[in-house]
Amino acid sequence: MSEQKSDFGLMLNEEMYGKLYQQSINEPTIFWAEQAERFITWYQSWHTVSDSDFNQGKVNWFNGAKLNACYNCVDRHLPQYANRIAILWEGDNSQRRQAITYQMLYERVCRFANSLKSLGVAKGDSVCLYMPMIPDAVVAMLACARIGAVHTVVFGGFSPHALAERLQNAKCKVVITADEGVRAHKAIPLKKNVDEALTRVKVRKVIVIKNTGHSVPMQQQRDVWYHTLVRNQEFNCEPEAMDAEDPLFILYTSGSTGKPKGLVHTTGGYLLYAAITFRYVFDYKEQDIYWCTADIGWITGHSYGVYGPLANHATMVMYEGVITSPPNIAWEIIDRYNVSVFYTAPTAIRALMAFGDEPLNSTKRNSLRLLGTVGEPINPEAWQWYHDKVGFGRCWIVDTWWQTETGGIMIVPFAGIGKPKPGAACKPFFGIKPRVVDAQGNDVLPQQTGFLTITQSWPGQARTIYGNHERFLKGYFGQYGGLYFTGDGAYQDSNGDYWITGRVDDVINVAGHRLGTAEIESALVKHQAVAEAAVIGVPHPVKGESVYAFVSLVAGKQWSPKLIPELQQMVTDSIGKLAMPEQIEYVNKLPKTRSGKIMRRLLRNVVTGEFDKIGDISTLAEPEVLDQLKAAHAKGKIQQGGSK
């Protein structure tokens, strides 16, 4: 068995970055083989490092190798770090707290893994987690990985309908949930939502974890309390030897069609990429206390709230609540646990910034040395406040760009390399070779915005969309032959640093969460009065973007402001509150191409008043529709509603 050889005292500098980056691009096989030996413990080595081919949409790493992700995150640390704290957890009310060592984590994971096995869960089975931010959520993920089950974590804010969709698509046999979750002092009825979801789809078992202690109905034969199930389980469970390309998890993300897509990440390549990016991007040191505020229902929570930190035997903070409620809770937690590396979203930073400096003044934050952002480009004003006020002007900010599809961070301002550029993604990670192209696939000049693509494979990227490989090939490799298409716009400045301009497909980024316009539109047209709907993202001072909807009505139906809360509730019920349109406008007709496609960019130009950016409308079927929209906008006569 190969052992981890990572040097945690090593800090990147400009010369070292340049040397490693060039090797990773020019000799990727040698580079990734060395890193795989350095960061991962393998049961069996590989036959080939990679035979990926973007022309075929083929992604493949470490063929023939065997490992176990849970073993790499827990077991191998025990000889040296058994008593090291793995998780510092705090409940929403700050009164419930846990400090879990790696030895304790090992025992809890083994008992959970044995519990799953006692219910008949085996290698290759899909298990759904619909959980609050409690340590049992991490334990459950690792328990699945230990026995070779494929976990699919569904964010606890999703509705029963959205949960049912994912359960059905992933063919889940078991659901792991809790009686309730708690966020911002509000109870989230998780078990109730699971029960409602299971009126649409069936599973074999539901494991319920007691979190708040609130009484919930239990269905005989199907539902089981975890504390009862685990009572007689052994404290040891042999980890399953997994092929490097065996699935580790399925994670759903929104796309430009109505159905969420289940991206499949595999064991070897994903774990290596999560481990190495965590180590170098956050300049991880042995004494660090690390806090990623992302929920485990998102890829950030997977890569940098579970697998990346634990693979590096880090000590991490986990918080059940919302870091903006109350306004000083994040700063108090940083002081309480001496957090040195803090990773959160620009949305949270803008929300905290809106409270002013008073919540900051009651805390010291002297332990901080590195700050991170994730989910969307950060605006310069928020960057400056984060840098000057939160970090006292002495903490480097790593503003990371990556996606659910990429598995880990792709472009980042490495700590101490170059000069800080507020809002810039900056330099590619090792093995990542970006290319900014125009619509025809030709390279664009510096300072010109184009489409961001990646030219060669990296270990952490998703391998397929579960059950729909054709959609995977078309969406990511069908646009530009031989290139991976990110769906984001970007440009390079005169120094070669990358800047991300945002999504170019029909996906809205709300508070760092990707929402497909088609999915929201599908929810709106379920209303008996709505004939068509079009959804766009518009700038929002805190969230980055907010959901803005246009609806036209069925013939004979009359518009009324009373429809607005009904439509908002339909979206909330179908997807979740995070997708609810903040504004809804009634229009007679929507602008469409001659082939019938809604031209959402025109709607966005009208709402933002950027008429000078409307551009080519030669494909617009009825130009008068745009004129009507512009006139209504100018006169303020578009009938709208919702909170502004």
- Give pLDDT, residue 257: 52
Beta-sheet pairing, 341-344 with 289-292: parallel
Q: Would you state the torsion angle of the CA atoms of residues 634, 640, 643, 644, taken in this order, to the nearest 10 degrees?
A: -10
User: Is a pLDDT exceeding 60 seen at residue 400?
Assistant: yes
Task: Indicate whether 264 belongs to any domain.
Answer: no
The alpha carbon of 579 is separated from its chain's Cα centroid by a whole number of angstroms, namely: 15
Kindly tell me if the per-residue pLDDT of 483 is higher than 80. yes
SS3 331: helix
Tell whether 615 is covered by a domain.
yes
Distance of CA 541 to the CA centre of its chain: 21
Q: Which residues contact 12 (CB under 8 A, 6 or more apart)?
A: 20, 280, 283, 414, 415, 416, 417
Backbone angles phi, psi at 37, to 5 degrees: -70, -35
Average pLDDT rounded to a whole number, residues 465-483: 94
CA atoms within 13 A on the CB side of 79: 5
Predicted confidence band at 347 (pLDDT cuts at 50, 70, 90)?
confident
- Angle at Cα 517 formed by Cα 513 and Cα 523, nearest 5°? 105
162-203 per-position pLDDT tens digit: 999 999 999 999 999 999 999 888 999 999 999 999 999 999
Q: Any idea what the CATH number is for the domain that residue 131 is in?
A: 3.40.50.980
Whether 599 is covered by a domain: the verdict is yes
Q: What is the CA radius of gyration of the chain?
A: 24
Count: domains in the chain: 2
Residue 22 lies in a domain: no
- The average pLDDT across 365-388 equals 92
Q: Detail the DSSP E strand segments found in 498-586.
A: 498-503, 507-510, 513-516, 530-540, 544-553, 583-586
- Which residue from 129, 180, 173, 175 is spatially nearest to 154, judged by alpha carbons? 129
Q: Give the confidence band of 642 by pLDDT, cuts at 50, 70, 90.
A: very low
Q: Which helix (H) or strand (E) holds 301?
A: helix 299-302
- pLDDT higher than 60, residue 36: yes
**164 found inside a domain:** yes
Q: 95-104, 503-512, 597-606: which has the highest mean pLDDT?
A: 95-104
Helix%, strand%, coil% for the chain, nearest 5? 30, 25, 40
Model confidence at 66, pLDDT cuts 50, 70, 90, reads: very high
Average pLDDT over residues 108-133: 98
Domain that holds residue 201: 72-240
Tokens of 396: 């480097």
- Specify if 581 maps to a domain: yes
Beta bridge partners of 316: 87, 290
pLDDT at residue 109 in the model: 98
CATH number of domain containing 524: 3.30.300.30
Report how far residue 343's alpha carbon sits from residue 456's, in angstroms, rounded to the nearest whole number. 28
Indicate the pLDDT class of residue 643, thresholds 50, 70 and 90.
Answer: very low
Assigned domain for 84 exists = yes
Alpha carbons within 13 angstroms on the beta-carbon side of residue 328 total: 12
Per residue in 402-439, pLDDT tens? Answer: 999 999 999 999 999 988 899 899 999 999 999 999 98
What whole-number distance in Å separates Cα of residue 272 and Cα of residue 300?
15
The pLDDT of residue 449? 87
Name the DSSP class of 612: G
% of the chain at pLDDT higher than 70: 94
pLDDT of residue 543: 86
Residue 624 domain-assigned (yes or no): yes
Task: Write down the pLDDT at residue 371.
Answer: 98
Q: State which of 219, 240, 261 marks the end of a domain.
A: 240
What one-letter code names the amino acid at 639?
A: Q
Kindly indicate the confidence band of residue 633, based on its pLDDT and cuts at 50, 70 and 90: low
Residue that is last in its domain, among 240, 270, 298: 240
Strand positions, DSSP E, 1-155:
48-50, 61-63, 66-67, 85-90, 97-101, 126-130, 150-153
Query: Which of 195, 211, 240 represents a domain boundary (last residue)?
Result: 240
